[in-house]
Chain A
Amino acid sequence: MNHSSAEQLQQVAASALAVGSVKLVIGHAAGAAGDRAAACFVDSDDNVGRLTIASPGVATNLAVYATRPEISHLSPIAVVADPPTLRALVGLLQEGQVEADRLRVIALWPQTAEVSQSPSDSADDDAGAWKVSGSVQTMEQVLASHEWVAHGQWTAAAQADDLVERLLKMSDAERWQFWSAEFARCSRCYACRASCPLCYCRRCVAEKNQPQWIDTSATPRGNFAWNVIRAFHLAGRCIDCGACERACPQGLPLGALNEFLRRTVAEKFDYRAGLEVDSTPPLADFRTDDPEEFIR
Chain B
Amino acid sequence: MTPLTLKIDRLGDLLAKMAAAGFRIVAPVASAESDTSATAPRPRQAVRFAVVGPQDYARVDLTATPAAEGIKRFFLPQSEAVVRMRQNEGQSAQVSDISPDAPPTIIFGARPCDAAALPVLDRVFSWDSDDRSWSHRRQQTLVITIACQSSDAACFCTSIGGAPDSTAGSDALLVPQDDGTMQVRLVGERGEKLRQFFDADDAGSAAPREDATTGDSGKAGQVTVVPPRFDISGVRSWIENNFDDKLWDQAALACLGCGACTYGCPTCHCFDLVDEGTEQSSLRRRNWDSCQFRNFTEHASGHNPRPWQTQRYRQRIAHKFAYFPERFGTTLCTGCGRCVRVCPAGVSLLEIVGRIAAKGKIEEGRADG
Contact = CB atoms under 8 A, between A and B. Distances in A.
Interface residues of A, number: 62
B348 A38 contact: yes
Contacts of A39: 253-254, 345-347
A40 B346 CA distance: 9
A195 B254 CA distance: 11
Interface stretch (A2-10, A138-146, A238-246): A238-246
Contacts of B346: 28-29, 31-33, 36-39, 60
Given A162-B38, A185-B45, A247-B260, A40 B344 contact: no
Nearest to B290: A189
Contact of B39 (A41, A159, A187): A159
Interface string B64-78: 000000000000001
B276 A249 contact: no
Contacts of A34: 152-153
- Chain B interface size band reads 35 or more
A212 B276 contact: yes
A64 B256 contact: yes
Contacts of A181: 33
A255 B38 CA distance: 11
Nearest to B285: A217
A147 interface: no
Given A119-B42, A246-B41, A216 B345 contact: no
Given A37-B346, A218-B78, A249 B264 contact: yes
Contact of B288 (A65, A187, A247): A187
Given A181-B33, A215-B276, A247 B258 contact: yes
A195 B39 contact: no
Interface in B70-102: 78-79
Contact of B343 (A36, A71, A158): A36
B39 A119 contact: no
B33, B154, B258, B350, most chain A CB atoms within 10 A: B258
B37 interface: yes
Interface string A222-264: 1000000000000000000011011111111101100000000
A252 B153 CA distance: 25
Interface centre among A38, A159, A191 (most CB of B within 10 A): A191
A217 B79 CA distance: 6
Contacts of B293: 190
Contacts of A195: 256, 258, 344-345
A219 interface: yes
Contacts of A158: 39-41
A93 interface: no
Nearest to B154: A33
Residue among B285, B342, B345 with the highest chain A CB neighbour number at 10 A: B345
Contacts of A178: 36
Interface string A34-69: 111111110000000000000001101000110011
Nearest to B79: A217
B316 interface: no
Interface in A176-203: 178, 181-182, 185, 187-191, 193-195
Contact of B36 (A33, A249, A253): A253
A290 interface: no
B272 A189 contact: no
A215 B282 CA distance: 12
B12 interface: no
A218 B340 CA distance: 23
A251 B342 CA distance: 11
Contacts of A162: 38-39
Contact of B256 (A58, A191, A215, A246): A191
A117 interface: yes
Interface string B239-251: 0000000000110
Contacts of B212: none
Interface string A207-221: 100001001111100
B44 interface: yes
A217 B287 CA distance: 6
B323 interface: no
A255 B39 contact: yes
Interface of A: 28-29, 31-41, 57-58, 60, 64-65, 68-71, 117, 119, 158-160, 162-163, 178, 181-182, 185, 187-191, 193-195, 207, 212, 215-219, 222, 242-243, 245-253, 255-256
Nearest 4 interchain pairs by C-beta: A38-B346, A32-B348, A247-B344, A194-B258
17 contacts: A32-B346, A32-B350, A34-B153, A37-B346, A39-B346, A39-B347, A41-B250, A65-B253, A71-B253, A158-B39, A158-B41, A189-B258, A189-B290, A195-B344, A212-B276, A218-B288, A253-B39
Given A242-B41, A249-B263, 8 more contacts: A32-B350, A162-B39, A185-B48, A217-B285, A218-B287, A246-B40, A248-B40, A250-B45
